[in-house]
Amino acid sequence: MSEQHRIPVTVLGLGTMGRAIADTIHRGGHPTTIWNRTAGRADSLVAKGVALAADPVAAVEASPVVVVCLLDDESVRGTLTPLVDALAGRLVVNVTTVTPKQARQTSDWAVEHGIEYLDGAIMATPEMIGLPVASLLYSGSRAAFDTHRELLELLGGARWFGTDAGLASLYDLALLGSMYSMFAGVAQGAAMLASEGVPAAEFVAMAGPWIDAMLSALPYHAEYYDSGDYTAEVQSLDFNKAAVDAIAEAARDQGVGTDVVAAVQTLIDRQVAAGHGKDGFARIFESIRRPIPRA
Ligand code: NAP
């Protein structure tokens, strides 16, 4: 076992994700200390030999590396602020889902108080932690990332995005945003078919392969976004507007909501109104990148 494997690690937060992280680190050979606001959530780990600290200060003092996996930024700040003295000189790896701004603020706070800081974002569910399919994004201290790479890789593939602590979170939320929009689109389609009694299972059996096939278009979209040249030989925005308007009309006719498709209509309509109807569909990127300033 290498020196890396013996570094004591503390995990603050034992929700479903925190428990998976603590369990994986413990199984990876690190002396592991845990703490959670609510007692009881540590029981399964304690049964495996993980050390439960009496209080958060004792938890932090047990290890040079403190992994924080709490609900949100508010719970992170509420938990870490009273621990500032105990945390000085240690590394905080905060894998709680936060916004880039929140990650930067916590990083600034940490650095100001002599705490090394690495922000992490988890692209995995708890069952995936420790498996090759799990991917974790990091930004902040490069030295911390390099020094503790072996530990971080225990949880899943580890990739560093830069010294700006907000970047891991920005990538995380960009990826999650794509996912949520995709699921919302499928919900729209399922609702339209449900209006005729078609089970969602039947619909998703078709929607999955359809979305899979469409994924091959993503690199072409990226080329348009990066170049800013949306010249299209086929499938102009005008063409797509007709299709998307038809989806909205059909949804209304079937008595189901149009919220998801209405958002796409708005993105298209702004570009068509600005005279870009002959450009390709990828031009909706401009509607998002340059939003209408709020009054
Ligand atoms: P969870 O099961 O709801 O656990 C939330 C944790 O936060 C618990 O330990 C809870 O403590 C603690 N907590 C909440 N409010 C607190 C406060 N005010 N002060 C102190 N502790 C507080 O959530 P989870 O699934 O473990 O997720 C943890 C983080 O991982 C989240 O940021 C989530 O977005 C991220 N994540 C989760 C997944 C996933 O699939 N679960 C995937 C990617 C990322 P108590 O037990 O005392 O309530």
Let me know if residue 212 belongs to a domain.
yes
The CATH code of the domain that includes 127 is 3.40.50.720
63 and 139 both lie in a single domain = yes
List all residues whose CB is within 6 A of at least one atom of ligand 1.
13-18, 36-38, 41, 69-72, 75, 78-79, 96-97, 122, 125-126
Q: How many domains are contained in the chain?
A: 2
Distance from residue 212's CA to the centre of ligand 1 (Å): 32
* Residue 74: inside a domain: yes
Range of the structural domain that residue 122 is part of: 3-163
Residues 20 and 101 in one domain: yes
The answer, yes or no, to whether residue 1 has pLDDT greater than 80, is no
- Residue 180 domain-assigned (yes or no): no
Where does a domain end: 107, 140, 163? 163
pLDDT tens-digit series, residues 83-97: 999 999 999 999 999
Cβ atoms of 165 and 95 closer than 8 Å: no
The CATH number assigned to the domain holding 252 equals 1.10.1040.10
Asked if residue 199 belongs to a domain, the reply is: yes
Helix (H, G, I), strand (E, B) or coil at 118: strand
Asked whether residue 190 is domain-assigned, the answer is no
Tell me how far the alpha carbon of residue 183 is from its chain's centroid: 15
State residue 93 phi and psi, 5-degree precision.
-110, 105
Percent of the chain at pLDDT exceeding 90: 94
* Structure-token pair, residue 58: 């004792």
* Atom in ligand 1 nearest the alpha carbon of residue 38: 47
The atom of ligand 1 lying closest to the CA of 125 is 40
Instruction: Point out the domain boundary residue: 120, 144, 163.
Output: 163
Confidence of residue 106 (pLDDT cuts 50, 70, 90): very high
Residue 221 is assigned to a structural domain of this protein? yes
User: Quick one: 93 and 51 in the same domain?
Assistant: yes
pLDDT of residue 233: 82
Q: Exposed, middle or buried: residue 110 (CB in 10 Å: 0-12, 13-18, 19+)?
A: buried
DSSP 258-280: -HHHHHHHHHHHHHHHTT-TTBB
